[in-house]
């Protein structure tokens, strides 16, 4: 069982780390580390990871040995579970949003409700007689022990209250929203129901069975832990997906466009004077793409004195004659003119006396779209003939 909960803890910790690694703050947009929603999401997921880490039998045994108190891991785990439940409420409050005063008030109420619960768990454990160490079946073994019984019921009720509240909020809010947010709410609802049925009801049934003189311990020891791990992972996916997926798609598109600009960059990069940013390897795909766009624009400006209208017009006529549409013919002609200019500049030729004043399509708009089109045209016509000689690629210095 330790392996299952350790894997769950690792997955949750990884989710929190990925979510916290967000782009730097920009004007009008705070850093991820200063966003209440991001912070509350990371805190909730990290607390979930710590709960699973502490609930593993190996960890419980280590904590008990370290403190010298049998079953000390129980109030530690149940207190953290209550804190995790509180963090889920706070996360839902920040996610739903609203007037700042109302959000602040709801957060304070959540803390006021679960803070005493954590204290009560510790006090009840201190009053109880729990000298026999139990690593996997503490809930059922001490189900009839004074004070331990109340501690077990309290932590279960606290967790159940959050689960029910989450389910209600997800159902109501899910009717008002669409897209990824609705998908995330549905995942949270599924995780909450799975936690309620697979973990909490199993625990309740096993404890009540002990109260009535029956033995359903397997529900608590074998069924509940993996169900809790699965439910926590599904809930975390629901919280994280609406926030990470758009960024992940943006990163993927940035990486795709960055790579698609390779033919253009390898052709013109040798004349670019754009300074390379520090720690380039640590930058996100979007940041790398932005730097490459700036560097290519700088190179195109440097090559402008070598642009030859004659080369462009001959390539344009040839492209139109091949049946290309006007836009594609223009991009093909500009690619041919650029290839010729790069060849002349690489050969240390003199700039033209009357260079072209034609404005490249790639320089007209913002974004990487125009540059990607130019790069694709260069790639498709690699080795294209301009004026009777073959252009050659130039490696970046």
**Tens-digit pLDDT profile for residues 29-68:** 444 455 788 888 888 888 888 888 888 889 999 999 999 9
Bridge partners (DSSP) of residue 390 are: 385
The more confidently predicted of residues 237 and 198 is 198
Non-local (6+) Cβ contacts of 354 within 8 A are none
Assess contact for 298 and 272: CB atoms under 8 A: yes
Residue 271 CA to chain centroid, in angstroms? 37
User: Which pLDDT belongs to residue 16?
Assistant: 67
> CB under 8 Å to 83, separation ≥6 — which residues?
47, 114, 118
d(CA 5, CA 3) in angstroms, rounded, equals 6
State pLDDT tens for residues 155-190.
999 999 999 998 998 999 888 888 888 998 999 999
Pick the closest to residue 225 from 204, 206, 203, 210 (CA basis): 203
Give the residue among 67, 79, 198, 55 at the shortest CA–CA distance from 138: 55
- pLDDT at position 39 is 84
- Where residue 379 falls among pLDDT bands split at 50, 70, 90? confident
CA dist 184 and 193 (Å) reads 14
Residues 195-235: tens digit of each pLDDT: 999 999 999 999 999 999 999 999 999 999 889 988 988 98
What is the value of pTM for the model shown?
0.70
Fold assignment, 2-250: Rhopdopsin 7-helix transmembrane proteins (1.20.1070)
Mean pLDDT score across all residues of the chain: 85
Average pLDDT of span 326-353? 90
Ordered by start, the domain boundaries in the chain are 2-250, 265-390
Q: 343-362: per-residue pLDDT in tens?
A: 989 988 888 888 888 889 88
Write a three-state SS string for the chain. Answer: CHHHHHHHHHHHHHHHHHHHCCCCCECCECCHHHCHHHHHHHHHHHHHHHHHHHHCHHHHHHHHHHHCCCCCHHHHHHHHHHHHHHHHHHHHHHHHCCCHHHHHHHHHHHHHHHHHHHHHHHHHHHHCCCCCCCCCCHHHHCCCCCCHHHHHHHHHHHHHHHHHHHHHHHHHHHCCCCHHHHHHHHHHHHHHHHHHHHHHHHHHHHHHHHHCCCCCHHHHHHHHHHHHHHHHHHHHHHHHHHHHHHHHHHHHHHHHHHHHCHHHHHHHHHHCCCCCCCCHHHCCHHHHHHHHHHHHHHHHHHHHHHCCHHHHHHHHHHHHHCCCCHHHHHHHHHHHHHHHHHHHHHCCCCCCCCCCCCCCHHHCCCCCHHHHHHHHHHHHCCCCEECCEECCCCCCC
């Amino acid at each position: 069982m330790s392996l299952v909960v350790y894997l769950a803890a690792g997955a949750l910790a990884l989710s929190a780390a990925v979510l916290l690694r967000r782009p730097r703050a920009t004007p009008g947009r705070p850093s991820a580390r200063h966003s209440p929603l991001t912070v509350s999401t990371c805190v909730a997921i990290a607390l979930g990871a710590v709960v699973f880490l502490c609930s593993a039998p190996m960890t419980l045994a280590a904590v008990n040995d370290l403190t010298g108190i049998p079953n000390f891991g129980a109030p530690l785990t149940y207190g953290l579970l209550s804190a995790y439940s509180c963090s889920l409420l706070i996360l839902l409050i920040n996610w739903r949003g609203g007037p700042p005063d109302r959000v602040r008030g709801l957060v304070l109420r959540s803390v006021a409700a679960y803070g005493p619960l954590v204290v009560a768990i510790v006090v009840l454990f201190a009053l109880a007689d729990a000298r026999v160490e139990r690593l996997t079946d503490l809930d059922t073994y001490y189900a009839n022990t004074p004070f331990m019984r109340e501690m077990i019921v309290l932590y279960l009720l606290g967790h159940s209250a959050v689960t029910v509240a989450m389910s209600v909020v997800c159902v109501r809010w899910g009717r008002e929203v669409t897209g990824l947010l609705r998908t995330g709410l549905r995942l949270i609802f599924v995780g909450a129901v799975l936690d309620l049925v697979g973990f909490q009801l199993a625990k309740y049934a096993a404890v009540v069975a002990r109260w009535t003189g029956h033995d359903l311990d397997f529900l608590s020891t074998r069924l509940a832990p993996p169900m809790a791990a699965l439910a926590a992972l599904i809930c975390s996916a629901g919280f994280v997906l609406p926030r990470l997926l758009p960024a992940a798609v943006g990163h993927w598109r940035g990486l795709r466009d960055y790579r698609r600009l390779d033919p253009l960059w390898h052709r013109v990069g040798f004349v670019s004077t754009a300074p390379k940013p520090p720690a380039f390897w640590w930058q996100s795909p979007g940041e790398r793409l932005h730097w490459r766009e700036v560097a290519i624009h700088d190179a195109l400006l440097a090559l402008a004195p070598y642009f030859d209208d004659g080369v462009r017009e001959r390539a344009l006529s040839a492209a139109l004659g091949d049946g290309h549409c006007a836009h594609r013919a223009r991009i093909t002609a500009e690619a041919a003119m650029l290839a010729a200019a790069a060849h002349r500049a690489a050969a240390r030729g003199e700039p033209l006396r009357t260079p072209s004043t034609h404005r490249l399509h790639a320089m007209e708009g913002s974004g990487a779209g125009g540059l990607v089109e130019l790069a694709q045209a260069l790639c498709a016509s690699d080795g294209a003939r301009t004026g009777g000689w073959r252009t050659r690629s130039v490696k970046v210095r």
